[in-house]
Amino acid sequence: MELRDLLDSRIRDVPDWPKPGVVFKDISPMLADPEAFAALVDALAEQCSAAGVDKVVGIEARGFILAAPVAYRAGAGFVPVRKQGKLPCATYAQSYDLEYGSATLEVHQDAFAPGERVLVIDDVLATGGTVAATIDLVRRTGAEVAGVSVLLELGFLPGRAKLAGLLPDESVRSFITV
């Protein structure tokens, strides 16, 4: 089976969650399938190596699950971008809106050496608010965002358009667009 079809078959729709009108894309079945999870991690690690990155950023919480094994596989470092109030040392903070709410993300100010190249990984690109805030945070540290890789892109929401002013379109990659 094609990687795209394998992954797609392991993502389930949950209507009206976490609030009415939202169809939540639940990646739990994909994570629970060792073949699908390993294939995704390997494919993301290849993107990481091709981009020549020093660090992989995972966005709390589902981004952590993907980004940490990718960093290990690609021989890169892992940096968490966390929800407000979780990181213990000096941080940069950025508030943002997402499909079903708003939040603030933080990164440690010393998470990267100046000029380091970074791949940002998350599970879903929806409105793009989460990834746009993360790009802003990484840039404030002095590091360079080499690309963004997500498992799933919601093509009916303006996530890719929101990132258009921030990164070249070809450096925003998704395995599935719905």
Ligand X SMILES: O=P(O)(O)OC[C@H]1O[C@H](OP(=O)(O)OP(=O)(O)O)[C@H](O)[C@@H]1O
- One residue of 58, 69, 80, 129 binding ligand X per CB under 6 A: 129
CB of 97 to ligand X, least distance (A): 7
The item of ligand ADE, ligand X, none sharing an interface with residue 58, based on CB under 5 to 8 Å by kind, is: none
Distance of CA 178 to the CA centre of its chain: 17
Is 170 known to be catalytic?
A: no
- Span 84-123, contacts to ligand X by CB under 6 A: 98-99, 103, 122-123
Q: What letter represents residue 42's amino acid?
A: D
Q: Rounded to whole angstroms, how far apart are CA atoms 8 and 36? A: 10
Contact assessment for residue 136 and residue 59, using Cβ atoms and an 8 Å cutoff: no
Mask: binding to ligand X, 38-77, rule CB under 6 A, as x and -?
Answer: ---------------------xxxxx--------------
Residue 116 in the binding site for ligand ADE (CB under 6 A): no
Candidates 7, 10, 11, 25: give the one binding ligand ADE (CB under 6 A): 25
Q: Considering the rule CB under 6 A, would residue 126 count as an interface residue with ligand ADE?
A: yes
The greatest distance separating any two alpha carbons of the chain, rounded to the nearest whole angstrom, comes to: 46
Q: Please confirm, yes or no, whether 99 is among the known catalytic residues.
A: yes
Q: Is 98 in the site for ligand ADE (CB under 6 A)?
A: yes
Place of tokens 């966390």: 82
Q: What's the CA gap between 4 and 23, in Å, rounded?
A: 20
**Smallest distance, Å, CB 114 to ligand X?**
27
129 binds, among ligand X, ligand ADE, none (CB under 5 to 8 A by kind): ligand X
Structure tokens given for 31: 């994570």
Which string of DSSP letters, residue by residue, matches 82-115? EETT---S-EEEEEEEETTEEEEEEEETTSS-TT
Q: Work out how close the CB of 40 gets to ligand ADE at its nearest, in angstroms, rounded to a whole number.
A: 16
DSSP category for residue 111: S
**CA-wise closest residue to 67 among 120, 110, 107:** 120
Residues that bind ligand X in the complex, under the rule CB under 6 A: 59-63, 98-99, 103, 122-130, 159
